[in-house]
Amino acid sequence: MGRRLNLLFQYFLELTPFDVCRRLPTVTLAPVDLLLASYEARGDAITILQIGACDGVTNDPVHRHVAKGLNRAVLVEPNPLAFARLQKTYAGCPNVTLVQCAIAEQDGEAHLYRLKGTGMKEAEVDLTLQISSFFRKHLERHGKEDHEIERITVSARSLSSLVAELCLTRVDLLQIDVEGFDAQVVRMALKLPVLPYCIHFEHFHLGKADRKPLFDLLHSNGYLLGYDAWNVLALQTQVMDELRMGKP
């Protein structure tokens, strides 16, 4: 009986790899850092498209690599409060293009929920900027109350429209952190004329109904998947082949 229970537990553990991680050590090495470090070690200049750039620094997995000035970077952020900080973060960086809009299903406008101004000074880290979302419940799940939340209208673009406007014929890394809208952006990316070579997105807020279908879709499009406590890194098979053989 005990063995059966243990096997059953292992079965459910395999079904929910992101829900049950209590026995794993704290993550101190992000897969995306290994990927970008490998490109840098070979001297490869790449194109990074970041959706949900926030202030460009706080808990940002690509900031260190973008700030070096070696790679072209297009950084997208809809929240005016965060975008103002993003502009200061990358002021004077010729390799960086900043776009103030949300990525949505179609061009136009979208409603964004954010916390009202917190009174934080410009030099202080404002973590509240990171939880702006299309979904009010997302902020409520972070313990925010109704009087703290406001809805604003922001410019919205589809991913395909933005990529075409910027003439991005190649996206080496698509970095996504959009507080509950990640699955939708990944699906948009998989409909682009040229698929991103690498997609790094937050799995932590994915609903159970999104996880398996999304991962199956990535597999069917030729991606290999790795993950840490918060994010999934999807690499096209050819990227791994090129890295192994040392080809640009």
> At 177, which CATH number?
3.40.50.150
Q: Tell me whether residue 188 is in a domain.
A: yes
Domain count, the chain: 1
Cβ-based neighbours of 26, under 8 Å, separated by 6 or more: 229
Q: Tell me whether residue 17 is in a domain.
A: no
Q: Is the pLDDT assigned to residue 155 strictly greater than 70?
A: yes
Q: What is the pLDDT of residue 193?
A: 95
Q: Tell me whether residue 99 is in a domain.
A: yes
Q: What is the pLDDT of residue 196?
A: 98
First to last CA, the chain: 55
Q: Tell me whether residue 11 is in a domain.
A: no
Query: Domain of 200?
Result: 44-111+155-243
Residue 103 token pair: 């990525």
Q: What is the pLDDT of residue 47?
A: 97
Q: Is the pLDDT assigned to residue 213 strictly greater than 80?
A: yes
Q: Which residue has the higher pLDDT, 112 or 7?
A: 112
Q: Tell me whether residue 150 is in a domain.
A: no
Q: Tell me whether residue 27 is in a domain.
A: no
Cβ-based neighbours of 213, under 8 Å, separated by 6 or more: none
- Can you tell me whether residue 51 is helix, strand or coil? strand
Q: Tell me whether residue 35 is in a domain.
A: no
Q: Which residue has the higher pLDDT, 120 or 239?
A: 239
Give the distance from CA 44 to its chain's centroid: 22
pLDDT band at 221 (very low <50, low <70, confident <90, very high): very high
Q: Tell me whether residue 215 is in a domain.
A: yes
